Structure 1
Amino acid sequence: MRALSLPQARKLVLLSQCISTKSLKGSAYSETLNVFERLGYVQIDTISVVQRAHHHTLWSRNPRYQVAHLDQLVADKKVFEYWSHAASYLPMRDYRFSLPRKTAFKLGQQSHWYKKDHKLMADVLKRIESEGPLMAKDFVSKSHKTNGWGSKPTKQALETLFMQGDLMIAERKNFHKVYDLTQRVLPNDVDASIPTEQEYGQFLVLSYLRAHGFGNLAEITYLLKNIKTLASQALNMLLESGDIKRVIINESVYFACCDALFLLDKRLNKKQVHILSPFDNLLIQRKRTQSIFNFKYLLECYVPAAKRQFGYFCLPVLWNGKLVARADCKVDKQTNTLNVIHLFIEPSVNEKETFFTALEEKLQAFAQFNQCNHYAIQKVSSRTV
């Protein structure tokens, strides 16, 4: 059993997550697709004080990323919307592995947050089948009665049909979902066969380990219902076949793909700053982030203003292979300025001048990504332990 130091573990995570690596050759669009297929999913979020999380996460891996890439990938049927641990875009390559969850919803083996109204669901399907792709607002009636087409139940019917696989999201218009029949959205060559339990379990394990470098059962099954036994069985089978091995990190046992450990021989660009989304794949599991990066992080937009320690939308900042700062950011559209309302520096930052030089370069790029002409740091604080 191989032991990895924390610096080695962090390096393995960052390289597996496509962070602090050299840009790939090829078009910016193809690199964006490659990022999707490496990460396995990109979480969708509605908060827009800076560029939305799904765009931000892709830009963090691909400096040439353009917001239009995502719509184009959906139009080209290279990615699709569904659920990972939360609402996400996923690579179409993995479509068949969304089917076990959809089937469970459809058969009532997994509960949905909405109660099924079968008659309303049938009516919704019939309209979309005859009229083509529709948004929730297309069902609004002039009367706006609570039991009419524009009522909350109609949106629930659409979402239920989406979660159980009858509908897919064909596109988004001004961030509103456009629903269509699944058979009209799927590409002709997609594999739509339902995986066996063994295939599904191994997919869950291997996709997580490849994207994150290493993991344990709790991390692999994070916010996924009814699959711990399946994932545990897959871990045992993959250990027996030699596809994965155990590693020790910080006195805890994890699993890693055997070939992933060769990533440790690659170079990590430590001097480049990365400004990350709160919903970034790297740190969405806060307990893991604290354990591996010694960085306790809480997104405080859900915390009452008076109780916030760092601000409404603090973005974690990566540098020198560590999470070293938090930047509470907000775009001012009237002045085209990316405001860093408050920058908090961790005590682990020793070469502050070098760090600030790299940070300012990245902030300028981040401002441009947010369609701002410039940025302004309004306040800086150094945290004490």
Structure 2
Amino acid sequence: MKPVSISVSDARKLALSQQGLLSAKPKFGRGKKATLRAIEHLGYIQIDAISVIQRAHHHTLWTRVPGYKPRFLNSLMAKDRSIFEYWSHAAAFLPMKDYRFSLPVMHAMSTKAKHWYQVDSSYKLQVLEKIKKEGPLYARDFETPKSTSGGMWNWKPAKQALHELFMEGSITVKSRDSFHRLYDISERVIPALHTQTQTQPSISEYIWHRCQQAIQAHGLTSVSQIRYQRFFSGEQVQSVLKNKTAQGLVVPVKIEGSPQEYFSFPQYLDTLPGRVIKQLHFLSPFDNAVIQRKRVKELFYFDYQTEIYYPVDKRKYGYFSLPVLYGTEFIGRMDPKAHRDRKVLEIRNLALDPHVKSSDKLLNALKSKLNQFAAFNECDEFTITKSTPESLKSALT
């Protein structure tokens, strides 16, 4: 099939619309039900431990769901059982309806010769039996008290065993207390519909699920983006997409000026978004829209890298610099830190790209979003330490 040609502008609008970042009207609605709709639509929400501001999983959902509260996630997992925690390309919250498509990864983890940790199989079995017998446990429940001279439990090996059992699917996360996982046997947490009646998908079925998920979440995607940190090959993805293209389920897409081949659903191309009323967002470094840095560079001409792991003297924008999205364009980066004891959100650096022209409309959007972002981070006010251009600081404070 001949590729459908679209402009860069239309490609960006399609991508951001499917991400729930384009329209002033919330794509997923409001509140806890909208939180579930967002997770099911996006396919996953990455979990991250960094807490210089609200953690990434909360940040990603707050960006898309008005009225989002951090307690929604634990309620969806522990009470409603409509999401579960497992591995996507990284640790993530996943829709329970997609549990079956985690089975291939679990199977691979339980049968491969080399695991992430070298855990003695008999010790791992003892950890599993302890949970079976005693019920849900935290990693800390395996720590031998310092006052005792012996005991079978050693916290570090136990934590490694728990991770291996979790990756194999023998145990899962029942809930979280702050950021601590409460583990239980999977059969006692995952609804029976998903553990007893569903078979493992074939490799082609699994890849097609990933293709659909990627197109749904991003509007259009490429072979390399579909297989991002997955265990299947590009050739396997090409084979599935060729078959689905022949069936008319997907359409190859050519974006003007790009050599990359993309794929989309025909209905998406028939109803491309129209005029955009610009919305401003501070995105998490682990947000679904920017986690694939190469895609962001190809589609938005924005070369973004998180500087978390850079030495201090190598950082250009700051430790936790967030991409700033305005309408369909990334316009800069912001490095925030929440001083929760003082209820102050410090913007250590707010840098707009050189081509960005300041305007009253942009300044108002920035100030409004900064106030909202401060409140989300349980702060009463924001301060700006440094800005580019320098005049930006005085204009916003």
TM-score in same-fold range (> 0.5): yes
Which residue of 253, 256, 262 corresponds with 1:254? 262
Instruction: Judge conservation of contact 1:147–1:153 (CA < 8 Å) in 2.
Output: no
Which residue of 178, 186, 191 corresponds with 1:174? 178
Residue number in structure 1 paired with 2:89: 85
Q: Describe the superposition over 1:301-351 as per-residue Cα deviations: whole angstroms up to 9, x where unpaired.
A: 210111110111111111021110111100011220111111101133224
Give the C-alpha shift of residue 189 in structure 1: 3.1
Give the C-alpha shift of residue 59 in structure 1: 0.6
How many aligned residue pairs are there?
A: 381
Superposed counterparts of 1:47-126, under 5 Å: 47-75=50-78, 76-108=80-112, 111-126=114-129
Which residue of 357, 370, 380 corresponds with 2:387? 380
Residue 33 (str. 1) matches residue 36 (str. 2): yes
Query: Secondary structure of 2:132's partner?
Result: helix
Instruction: Give the alignment's TM-score, normalised by structure 1.
Output: 0.94
Superposed counterparts of 1:237-316, under 5 Å: 237-249=243-255, 250-252=257-259, 253-266=261-274, 268-270=276-278, 272-316=279-323
Query: Secondary structure of 1:156's partner?
Result: helix
Q: 1:148 to 1:268 in 2, by over 3 A?
A: farther
Q: 2-side partners of 1:284 and 1:262: how far apart? A: 27
Q: 2-side partners of 1:319 and 1:262: how far apart? A: 25
- 350-359 or 161-170: which moved more? 350-359
Instruction: Judge conservation of contact 1:210–1:260 (CA < 8 Å) in 2.
Output: no
Unmatched tracts of structure 2, length 5 or more: 391-397
Give the C-alpha shift of residue 146 in structure 1: 10
Superposed counterparts of 1:313-352, under 5 Å: 313-352=320-359
Q: Describe the superposition over 1:110-137 as per-residue Cα deviations: whole angstroms up to 9, x where unpaired.
A: x431124210111011100010011111
Query: Secondary structure of 1:180's partner?
Result: strand
Q: Percent identity?
A: 40
Residue number in structure 2 paired with 1:133: 136
Which residue of 216, 220, 240 corresponds with 1:234? 240
Instruction: Judge conservation of contact 2:14–2:272 (CA < 8 Å) in 1.
Output: yes
Instruction: Judge conservation of contact 1:43–1:54 (CA < 8 Å) in 2.
Output: yes
Amino acid at match of 1:232: Q
Instruction: Judge conservation of contact 2:10–2:273 (CA < 8 Å) in 1.
Output: no
Residue number in structure 1 paired with 2:5: 3
Give the C-alpha shift of residue 251 in structure 1: 2.6
Instruction: Judge conservation of contact 2:20–2:28 (CA < 8 Å) in 1.
Output: no
Q: 2-side partners of 1:69 and 1:156: how far apart? A: 29
Q: 2-side partners of 1:200 and 1:146: how far apart? A: 47
Residue 224 (str. 1) matches residue 230 (str. 2): yes
Amino acid at match of 1:257: F
